[in-house]
Amino acid sequence: MNKSGIHFTIAKIVMISIFYTLSSSRAEVTLLKFGCYAINHELTLPGTPVTIYDAITGDISDWWDHSFSNSPLRFYIEPKPGGGFYEIFDEAGNGVLHATVIVADRGKILRFDGPLGLSGKAVKMVHTYEFSPAGSDSTRLNLSVHVLGEIEEGLPETIDRVWYHFLFERFKPYIEEGRHLLVPYEENQKWGYKNKEGRVALKPTYHIASPFNQYGIAAVVDDSGWVYIDKNGRSILRPFIIDNGPDYFSEGLARYMEQGKIGFMNENGVKVIPAMFEFVLPFSEGLAAFCEKCKEVRDDEYKRVEGGKWGYINQAGEIVVYPEYDKAGSFKDGQAEVSKGQKKYLIWKKDLGQ
Protein backbone atom coordinates (compact mmCIF):
# COMPACT_ATOMS: atom_id res chain seq x y z
CA MET A 1 0.00 0.00 0.00
CA ASN A 2 1.27 3.45 -0.90
CA LYS A 3 -0.09 6.45 0.92
CA SER A 4 0.68 10.13 1.01
CA GLY A 5 -0.81 13.17 2.58
CA ILE A 6 -0.24 16.69 3.77
CA HIS A 7 -1.63 18.55 6.75
CA PHE A 8 -0.79 22.13 7.58
CA THR A 9 -1.87 25.04 9.71
CA ILE A 10 -0.95 28.68 9.27
CA ALA A 11 -0.66 30.20 12.71
CA LYS A 12 -2.00 33.66 13.52
CA ILE A 13 1.49 34.96 13.96
CA VAL A 14 3.71 37.01 11.68
CA MET A 15 7.45 37.30 11.53
CA ILE A 16 9.05 40.66 10.91
CA SER A 17 11.96 40.71 8.48
CA ILE A 18 14.03 43.90 8.50
CA PHE A 19 16.40 44.91 5.70
CA TYR A 20 18.67 47.96 5.71
CA THR A 21 19.92 49.73 2.60
CA LEU A 22 23.33 51.36 2.84
CA SER A 23 22.37 54.30 0.66
CA SER A 24 19.41 55.49 2.74
CA SER A 25 19.99 53.70 6.07
CA ARG A 26 16.26 53.06 6.06
CA ALA A 27 14.68 49.82 7.17
CA GLU A 28 12.35 47.87 4.93
CA VAL A 29 9.97 45.77 7.00
CA THR A 30 8.32 42.71 5.45
CA LEU A 31 5.62 40.77 7.27
CA LEU A 32 6.02 37.01 6.74
CA LYS A 33 3.49 34.28 7.35
CA PHE A 34 4.44 31.91 10.14
CA GLY A 35 2.93 28.45 10.40
CA CYS A 36 3.43 24.73 10.51
CA TYR A 37 2.55 21.68 8.47
CA ALA A 38 3.21 17.96 8.28
CA ILE A 39 3.70 15.64 5.31
CA ASN A 40 3.36 11.85 5.37
CA HIS A 41 4.18 9.29 2.70
CA GLU A 42 4.09 5.50 2.98
CA LEU A 43 5.22 2.88 0.48
CA THR A 44 6.09 -0.80 0.43
CA LEU A 45 9.40 -1.92 -1.03
CA PRO A 46 11.02 -5.31 -1.71
CA GLY A 47 13.76 -6.15 0.79
CA THR A 48 14.33 -6.27 4.52
CA PRO A 49 14.16 -3.16 6.72
CA VAL A 50 17.96 -3.23 7.09
CA THR A 51 18.42 -3.45 3.30
CA ILE A 52 16.09 -0.50 2.68
CA TYR A 53 17.68 1.49 5.51
CA ASP A 54 21.11 0.96 3.99
CA ALA A 55 19.86 1.97 0.54
CA ILE A 56 18.30 5.22 1.74
CA THR A 57 21.44 6.21 3.68
CA GLY A 58 25.11 6.32 2.76
CA ASP A 59 25.67 7.41 -0.86
CA ILE A 60 22.26 8.37 -2.27
CA SER A 61 23.54 10.04 -5.44
CA ASP A 62 21.87 7.44 -7.69
CA TRP A 63 18.34 8.53 -6.82
CA TRP A 64 18.50 11.97 -5.13
CA ASP A 65 18.25 14.50 -7.96
CA HIS A 66 17.58 17.93 -6.38
CA SER A 67 20.70 19.93 -5.65
CA PHE A 68 22.01 23.22 -4.35
CA SER A 69 24.79 23.32 -6.95
CA ASN A 70 24.47 22.84 -10.71
CA SER A 71 26.55 19.66 -10.90
CA PRO A 72 27.12 18.08 -7.46
CA LEU A 73 29.68 15.32 -7.09
CA ARG A 74 27.89 13.26 -4.42
CA PHE A 75 25.04 13.14 -1.92
CA TYR A 76 25.34 11.06 1.21
CA ILE A 77 23.83 10.61 4.66
CA GLU A 78 25.93 9.44 7.60
CA PRO A 79 23.56 7.10 9.50
CA LYS A 80 24.68 7.90 13.03
CA PRO A 81 23.73 10.51 15.64
CA GLY A 82 25.48 13.72 14.68
CA GLY A 83 26.07 12.49 11.13
CA GLY A 84 25.49 14.82 8.22
CA PHE A 85 23.30 14.89 5.12
CA TYR A 86 25.85 16.31 2.70
CA GLU A 87 25.91 17.57 -0.86
CA ILE A 88 29.51 17.57 -2.04
CA PHE A 89 30.35 19.94 -4.88
CA ASP A 90 33.85 18.83 -5.88
CA GLU A 91 36.96 16.81 -5.05
CA ALA A 92 38.15 19.61 -2.74
CA GLY A 93 35.27 18.83 -0.39
CA ASN A 94 33.27 22.05 -0.89
CA GLY A 95 29.57 21.52 -0.32
CA VAL A 96 26.47 21.97 1.81
CA LEU A 97 25.33 20.38 5.07
CA HIS A 98 21.60 20.01 4.39
CA ALA A 99 20.68 18.33 7.69
CA THR A 100 22.05 16.61 10.79
CA VAL A 101 21.05 13.11 11.93
CA ILE A 102 19.55 13.11 15.42
CA VAL A 103 18.25 9.51 15.64
CA ALA A 104 19.71 6.45 13.90
CA ASP A 105 18.70 2.85 14.58
CA ARG A 106 19.57 0.66 11.62
CA GLY A 107 16.53 -0.98 10.06
CA LYS A 108 14.13 0.84 12.38
CA ILE A 109 14.32 4.63 12.28
CA LEU A 110 16.35 7.52 10.89
CA ARG A 111 15.58 11.13 11.84
CA PHE A 112 17.38 14.23 10.63
CA ASP A 113 16.93 17.91 11.35
CA GLY A 114 17.66 20.52 8.68
CA PRO A 115 16.17 22.80 6.03
CA LEU A 116 17.24 20.79 2.95
CA GLY A 117 16.19 22.99 0.01
CA LEU A 118 14.87 25.74 2.27
CA SER A 119 18.28 26.85 3.49
CA GLY A 120 18.19 30.56 4.21
CA LYS A 121 14.56 30.57 5.29
CA ALA A 122 13.38 31.02 8.88
CA VAL A 123 12.22 27.43 9.07
CA LYS A 124 12.65 24.31 11.23
CA MET A 125 12.28 20.92 9.48
CA VAL A 126 12.41 17.45 11.01
CA HIS A 127 12.34 14.40 8.71
CA THR A 128 11.73 10.84 9.94
CA TYR A 129 12.06 7.56 8.04
CA GLU A 130 10.48 4.58 9.83
CA PHE A 131 10.99 1.00 8.65
CA SER A 132 8.86 -2.04 9.49
CA PRO A 133 8.47 -5.54 7.99
CA ALA A 134 5.68 -6.01 5.46
CA GLY A 135 5.20 -9.73 4.93
CA SER A 136 8.19 -12.03 4.72
CA ASP A 137 10.32 -10.17 2.19
CA SER A 138 9.21 -6.54 2.03
CA THR A 139 9.48 -3.33 4.05
CA ARG A 140 6.97 -0.63 4.84
CA LEU A 141 8.73 2.74 4.65
CA ASN A 142 7.00 5.70 6.27
CA LEU A 143 8.24 9.26 5.84
CA SER A 144 7.02 12.12 8.01
CA VAL A 145 8.13 15.71 7.57
CA HIS A 146 7.27 18.32 10.21
CA VAL A 147 7.86 21.96 9.35
CA LEU A 148 7.60 25.07 11.50
CA GLY A 149 8.46 28.61 10.46
CA GLU A 150 8.25 30.91 7.47
CA ILE A 151 5.56 29.49 5.17
CA GLU A 152 5.15 30.97 1.70
CA GLU A 153 1.92 30.38 -0.18
CA GLY A 154 1.98 27.02 -1.94
CA LEU A 155 5.11 25.82 -0.14
CA PRO A 156 3.51 22.82 1.65
CA GLU A 157 2.13 21.50 -1.63
CA THR A 158 5.50 21.99 -3.33
CA ILE A 159 7.39 20.10 -0.61
CA ASP A 160 4.80 17.33 -0.75
CA ARG A 161 5.29 16.96 -4.51
CA VAL A 162 9.07 16.94 -4.16
CA TRP A 163 8.99 14.13 -1.59
CA TYR A 164 6.53 12.18 -3.72
CA HIS A 165 9.02 12.51 -6.58
CA PHE A 166 11.93 11.35 -4.41
CA LEU A 167 10.16 8.32 -2.95
CA PHE A 168 7.81 7.11 -5.66
CA GLU A 169 9.50 8.23 -8.87
CA ARG A 170 13.16 7.87 -7.89
CA PHE A 171 13.77 5.67 -4.82
CA LYS A 172 11.05 3.05 -5.49
CA PRO A 173 12.29 2.21 -9.03
CA TYR A 174 15.87 2.28 -7.75
CA ILE A 175 14.97 -0.45 -5.23
CA GLU A 176 12.69 -2.47 -7.50
CA GLU A 177 15.36 -2.59 -10.22
CA GLY A 178 17.91 -3.81 -7.67
CA ARG A 179 20.39 -1.03 -8.36
CA HIS A 180 21.23 -0.93 -4.64
CA LEU A 181 22.28 -4.58 -4.64
CA LEU A 182 25.31 -4.67 -6.91
CA VAL A 183 27.41 -7.82 -6.65
CA PRO A 184 30.83 -8.57 -8.20
CA TYR A 185 31.07 -10.92 -11.18
CA GLU A 186 34.01 -12.19 -13.25
CA GLU A 187 34.36 -12.30 -17.02
CA ASN A 188 37.56 -13.02 -18.95
CA GLN A 189 39.63 -12.64 -15.77
CA LYS A 190 38.27 -9.15 -15.10
CA TRP A 191 35.70 -8.11 -12.53
CA GLY A 192 32.63 -5.91 -12.74
CA TYR A 193 29.23 -5.61 -11.00
CA LYS A 194 25.70 -6.80 -11.77
CA ASN A 195 22.37 -6.01 -10.14
CA LYS A 196 20.07 -8.63 -8.59
CA GLU A 197 18.45 -9.33 -11.98
CA GLY A 198 21.82 -10.10 -13.55
CA ARG A 199 22.06 -6.93 -15.62
CA VAL A 200 25.53 -5.42 -15.89
CA ALA A 201 25.85 -2.25 -13.85
CA LEU A 202 29.63 -1.78 -14.10
CA LYS A 203 31.52 -3.46 -16.91
CA PRO A 204 34.32 -5.91 -16.00
CA THR A 205 37.38 -3.67 -16.03
CA TYR A 206 38.85 -4.39 -12.58
CA HIS A 207 41.50 -6.91 -11.56
CA ILE A 208 39.83 -7.36 -8.14
CA ALA A 209 36.38 -6.23 -6.98
CA SER A 210 35.11 -6.39 -3.40
CA PRO A 211 31.43 -6.07 -2.33
CA PHE A 212 29.95 -2.64 -1.74
CA ASN A 213 29.65 -1.64 1.90
CA GLN A 214 26.43 -0.37 3.45
CA TYR A 215 27.45 3.21 2.61
CA GLY A 216 27.73 2.53 -1.12
CA ILE A 217 31.47 2.30 -1.79
CA ALA A 218 33.67 -0.65 -2.76
CA ALA A 219 37.41 -1.27 -2.97
CA VAL A 220 38.65 -2.45 -6.38
CA VAL A 221 41.97 -2.81 -8.17
CA ASP A 222 42.35 -0.91 -11.44
CA ASP A 223 45.48 -0.52 -13.56
CA SER A 224 46.95 1.89 -10.97
CA GLY A 225 46.20 -0.20 -7.86
CA TRP A 226 43.58 -0.20 -5.14
CA VAL A 227 40.90 2.50 -5.29
CA TYR A 228 37.47 3.07 -3.74
CA ILE A 229 34.59 3.55 -6.19
CA ASP A 230 30.91 4.45 -5.88
CA LYS A 231 28.04 2.59 -7.56
CA ASN A 232 28.49 4.65 -10.71
CA GLY A 233 32.09 3.46 -10.99
CA ARG A 234 33.54 6.85 -10.12
CA SER A 235 36.89 6.75 -8.34
CA ILE A 236 36.77 8.29 -4.87
CA LEU A 237 40.05 7.82 -2.99
CA ARG A 238 43.08 5.54 -3.09
CA PRO A 239 43.54 3.74 0.22
CA PHE A 240 46.70 3.34 2.22
CA ILE A 241 47.88 -0.22 1.60
CA ILE A 242 48.50 -2.69 4.39
CA ASP A 243 48.82 -6.50 4.07
CA ASN A 244 48.48 -6.13 0.28
CA GLY A 245 45.03 -4.57 0.59
CA PRO A 246 43.17 -1.43 1.66
CA ASP A 247 43.70 -0.15 5.17
CA TYR A 248 41.26 -1.49 7.74
CA PHE A 249 38.63 0.82 9.23
CA SER A 250 39.32 1.53 12.88
CA GLU A 251 36.82 3.57 14.88
CA GLY A 252 35.06 4.43 11.63
CA LEU A 253 38.15 5.80 9.88
CA ALA A 254 40.73 4.36 7.48
CA ARG A 255 43.86 5.84 5.96
CA TYR A 256 44.05 7.03 2.35
CA MET A 257 46.90 8.29 0.14
CA GLU A 258 47.09 11.52 -1.80
CA GLN A 259 50.21 13.05 -3.36
CA GLY A 260 52.44 10.84 -1.25
CA LYS A 261 50.86 11.83 2.08
CA ILE A 262 48.40 10.00 4.35
CA GLY A 263 45.02 11.21 5.59
CA PHE A 264 41.84 9.63 6.98
CA MET A 265 38.52 8.87 5.29
CA ASN A 266 35.21 7.67 6.72
CA GLU A 267 33.14 4.69 5.58
CA ASN A 268 31.30 6.91 3.09
CA GLY A 269 34.62 7.51 1.32
CA VAL A 270 34.76 11.13 2.44
CA LYS A 271 37.95 12.84 3.56
CA VAL A 272 37.78 13.54 7.29
CA ILE A 273 41.41 14.50 7.89
CA PRO A 274 43.47 15.89 4.98
CA ALA A 275 46.43 13.92 3.65
CA MET A 276 49.30 15.69 5.42
CA PHE A 277 51.29 12.99 7.24
CA GLU A 278 54.44 11.15 6.21
CA PHE A 279 53.13 8.29 8.32
CA VAL A 280 50.33 7.82 10.83
CA LEU A 281 49.02 4.82 12.75
CA PRO A 282 45.31 3.82 12.84
CA PHE A 283 43.09 5.45 15.45
CA SER A 284 42.82 3.75 18.81
CA GLU A 285 40.75 5.17 21.66
CA GLY A 286 40.22 8.36 19.65
CA LEU A 287 43.93 9.13 19.08
CA ALA A 288 46.46 8.26 16.37
CA ALA A 289 50.25 8.49 16.51
CA PHE A 290 51.86 10.33 13.61
CA CYS A 291 55.43 11.10 12.65
CA GLU A 292 57.03 14.19 11.19
CA LYS A 293 60.09 14.06 8.92
CA CYS A 294 60.22 10.27 9.00
CA LYS A 295 60.69 7.95 6.04
CA GLU A 296 59.50 4.51 5.03
CA VAL A 297 62.13 1.81 4.56
CA ARG A 298 61.47 -1.53 2.85
CA ASP A 299 63.08 -4.81 3.97
CA ASP A 300 62.21 -7.41 1.33
CA GLU A 301 58.38 -7.59 1.52
CA TYR A 302 58.12 -5.66 4.80
CA LYS A 303 58.12 -1.94 5.50
CA ARG A 304 59.14 0.05 8.52
CA VAL A 305 59.35 3.72 9.42
CA GLU A 306 62.61 5.36 10.48
CA GLY A 307 63.65 8.77 11.79
CA GLY A 308 61.54 11.78 12.58
CA LYS A 309 59.56 12.64 15.68
CA TRP A 310 56.22 11.31 16.83
CA GLY A 311 53.11 12.94 18.29
CA TYR A 312 49.35 12.34 18.45
CA ILE A 313 46.23 13.70 16.75
CA ASN A 314 42.55 13.36 17.61
CA GLN A 315 39.75 12.46 15.19
CA ALA A 316 39.28 16.10 14.28
CA GLY A 317 42.85 16.12 12.98
CA GLU A 318 44.01 18.37 15.82
CA ILE A 319 47.44 17.82 17.32
CA VAL A 320 47.09 16.90 21.00
CA VAL A 321 50.75 15.92 21.47
CA TYR A 322 53.29 17.73 19.33
CA PRO A 323 56.05 15.58 17.75
CA GLU A 324 58.67 15.05 20.43
CA TYR A 325 59.11 11.27 20.76
CA ASP A 326 61.48 9.01 18.85
CA LYS A 327 58.82 6.29 18.84
CA ALA A 328 55.13 6.18 19.78
CA GLY A 329 52.58 3.38 19.93
CA SER A 330 48.80 3.20 19.87
CA PHE A 331 46.71 3.78 22.98
CA LYS A 332 45.25 0.77 24.77
CA ASP A 333 43.37 0.88 28.06
CA GLY A 334 44.08 4.60 28.27
CA GLN A 335 47.87 4.40 27.90
CA ALA A 336 50.51 4.28 25.16
CA GLU A 337 54.22 3.46 25.14
CA VAL A 338 56.60 6.13 23.85
CA SER A 339 60.35 6.53 23.85
CA LYS A 340 63.06 9.15 23.76
CA GLY A 341 66.48 7.74 22.98
CA GLN A 342 66.88 4.58 25.08
CA LYS A 343 64.23 5.58 27.58
CA LYS A 344 60.77 4.00 27.29
CA TYR A 345 57.79 5.05 29.36
CA LEU A 346 54.00 5.30 29.33
CA ILE A 347 51.83 8.33 28.71
CA TRP A 348 48.20 8.45 29.82
CA LYS A 349 45.26 9.66 27.77
CA LYS A 350 43.66 11.31 30.80
CA ASP A 351 46.71 13.54 31.12
CA LEU A 352 46.19 14.81 27.57
CA GLY A 353 42.74 16.18 28.30
CA GLN A 354 41.16 13.61 26.01
The DSSP secondary structure of 25-50, one letter per residue, reads --EEEEEEEEEEEEEEEEEEEES-HH
At 352 the pLDDT is 86
Which residues are CB-contacts of 141 (< 8 A; sequence separation ≥ 6)?
42, 43, 44, 45, 52, 56, 129, 130, 131, 167
Are 272 and 253 contacting, i.e. CB atoms less than 8 angstroms apart? yes
At 2 the pLDDT is 60
Phi, then psi, of 168 in degrees rounded to 5: -90, -30
At 27 the pLDDT is 66
At 17 the pLDDT is 44
- Domains of the chain, each with CATH number or no CATH: 3-176 (3.30.530.20), 181-229 (no CATH)
214 C-beta neighbours (distance < 10 Å), count: 16
Which strand (E) or helix (H) includes residue 279? strand 279-280
Which whole-number Å values give the CA distances from 24 to 17, 63, 325, in the listed order? 18, 48, 62
d(CA 336, CA 146): 48
Q: What integer best gives the mean pLDDT of the chain? A: 88
d(CA 81, CA 69): 26
d(CA 95, CA 215): 19
d(CA 160, CA 12): 23
Phi, then psi, of 233 in degrees rounded to 5: 85, 10
Could you read off the pLDDT of 239-249 as tens digits, one per residue? 999 988 999 99
At 179 the pLDDT is 83
At 12 the pLDDT is 39
pTM equals 0.72
At 16 the pLDDT is 43
The list of the chain residues with pLDDT below 70 reads 1-27, 29-32, 300-301, 354
